[in-house]
Amino acid sequence: MLPKLAKDKHKESKDFFKKLKKKPPKQLDYLMQELHEAAFKETNCLECANCCKTTGPLFTDKDIQRIAKHFKMKPQQFINQFLRVDEDNDYVLQTVPCTFLGADNFCSIYEVRPKACREFPHTDRKKFQQISNLTLKNVAICPAAFNIVEAMKKRINF
Ligand code: SF4
Ligand code: SF4
pLDDT at site 61: 98
Number of domains in the chain: 2
The answer to whether the beta carbons of residues 123 and 39 sit under 8 Å apart is yes
Q: Say yes or no: 78 and 107 in one domain.
A: yes
Give dist(CA 80, CA 99) in Å, integer: 14
Check whether residue 149 and residue 96 sit in a common domain: no
Distance 92 CA to ligand 1 centre (A): 18
Looking at the chain, which runs of residues are DSSP E strands? 58-59, 83-85, 91-93
Is residue 92 within 8 A of residue 58, CB to CB? The reply is yes
Let me know whether 100 and 141 are in one domain.
no
pLDDT of residue 50: 97
Give yes or no for residue 45 CB within 6 A of ligand 2. Answer: no
Of ligand 1's listed atoms, the one at least distance from the Cα of 105 is: 5
Same domain, 82 and 36: no
pLDDT tens by residue, the chain, 158 residues: 899 999 999 999 999 999 999 999 999 999 999 999 999 999 999 999 999 999 989 999 999 999 999 999 999 999 999 999 999 999 999 999 999 999 999 999 999 999 999 999 999 999 999 999 999 999 999 999 999 999 999 999 98
Residue 71 shares a structural domain with residue 42: no
Ligand 1 center to residue 58 CA distance, Å?
16
| pLDDT score recorded for residue 158 | 85
Within this chain, do residues 46 and 66 fall inside the same structural domain, yes or no? no
The pTM of this model reads: 0.93
List the domain range (segments joined by +) for residue 134. Answer: 2-50+122-155
Please tell me the number of the ligand nearest to residue 46's CA: 1
Ligand 2 centroid vs 136 CA: distance in angstroms?
21
Residues 129 and 82 in one domain: no
Q: Are residues 115 and 63 in the same domain?
A: yes
CA of 46 to the centre of ligand 2 (A): 12
- Report whether 101 contacts 49 (CB < 8 A): yes
Do 64 and 114 share a structural domain?
Answer: yes
